[in-house]
Amino acid sequence: MNKYLLSIRIKGQIVKTTVEADNAIHAKLLGEWHYGIGSVANTPTRLEEVFGAPQTPQQARIKSLQTQKDNIGKQLKAERDRQKIAKAQKTIASVKLR
């Protein structure tokens, strides 16, 4: 099930509400069933839900440090690979000169 935002026309005013449905057509049909035929003012918009509770400052700090650690690890690997390639190119160049 997905959550959809509906704009409903009630006594000349537009009111926003949400419904849970499988797709936009079902959301519109649910809105019309509940509020009346022709009451849905526009196409329902799917809402993206945020999963999980907000992090505490301590959890956010841990996550930030973990991300930094991962990024530095990637940079370290890239530098080691670059140095290996440079060393191999130097070896190849010295072999060609002989």
pLDDT in tens, the chain (98 residues): 899 999 999 988 999 999 999 999 999 999 999 999 999 999 999 988 656 678 899 999 999 999 999 999 999 999 999 999 999 999 998 887 76
pLDDT reported for residue 50: 57
Residues 6+ apart with CB under 8 A from 44: 4, 5, 6, 19, 21, 24, 27, 28, 31
pLDDT reported for residue 53: 75
Distance in Å from the first CA to the final CA of the chain: 71
pLDDT reported for residue 96: 77
In angstroms, the CA 26 to CA 63 distance is 39
Task: Answer for the pair 41, 5: CB distance below 8 angstroms, yes or no.
Answer: no
Tell me the whole-structure pTM to 2 decimals: 0.49
Q: Where are the alpha helices (DSSP H) in 19-56?
A: 24-35
pLDDT reported for residue 15: 93
- Tell me the one-letter amino acid at 15: V
Task: Answer for the pair 14, 7: CB distance below 8 angstroms, yes or no.
Answer: yes
pLDDT reported for residue 52: 64
